[in-house]
Structure 1
Amino acid sequence: MLANRDDALKRLSSIEGHLRGIRKMVEEDAYCVDILRQTYAVGRAIDKLDEALLQGHLSHCVPEGMADGRTEQVVAELEELFALARR
């Protein structure tokens, strides 16, 4: 994850700003369709953040865990992530 930290933080800052904008739209009683467009955009941004985090995990953390002999833990965590992704 450390290799992707800057990217993740940039994405999170963007998402936070977007959420503040949506909150303002709701407070100002903006048109529902306009708000929904923005919430969908945030959802896609979160999906992209998830992809980047998972890629970092698969590229760095999984191989390190396997090399350290933590195979069962690594597999259990991956199973948990896949289960969460299916919900």
Structure 2
Amino acid sequence: MEKHRHETHPEIVKRLKRAEGHLRSVIAMIEGGRPCLDIAQQLHAVEKAITQAKRTLIQDHLDHCLEDAVGALPRDQRQPIEDFKSITKYL
């Protein structure tokens, strides 16, 4: 099976590894009895990193895979595709 890779994949991996490090810190903070506010702040950082990685992956998929599947369309028929790509930014 051919590997499925896009330009953004290294950046996504970097974000997820950062989130993984933050998550390890959160676990250590809980085990160490740190204040809930500190823990919540770190959990928020993990959540943001994962959300951004997901958003980047979805946008990349739409920009490449969807375009390949749909193929070239005349300019007047592209608006629904462009709208769909735009609305996914709110995921």
Of structures 1 and 2, the one scoring higher in RCO (CA 8 A, sep 6+) is 1
Could you list the structure 1 runs, at least 4 aligned residues long, displaced by more than 3 angstroms after superposition.
none
Alpha-carbon distance in 1 for matches of 2:12, 2:43: 19
Alpha-carbon distance in 2 for matches of 1:44, 1:9: 14
Alpha-carbon distance in 2 for matches of 1:18, 1:52: 19
Residue 63 of structure 1 pairs with residue 67 of structure 2: yes
TM-score by length of 1: 0.72
Provide the residue aligned with 1:35 in structure 2. Answer: 39
Larger radius of gyration: 2
Provide the residue aligned with 1:47 in structure 2. Answer: 51
Gaps of 5+ in 2: 72-83
TM-score by length of 2: 0.69
Residue 21 of structure 1 pairs with residue 28 of structure 2: no
Gaps of 5+ in 1: 68-77
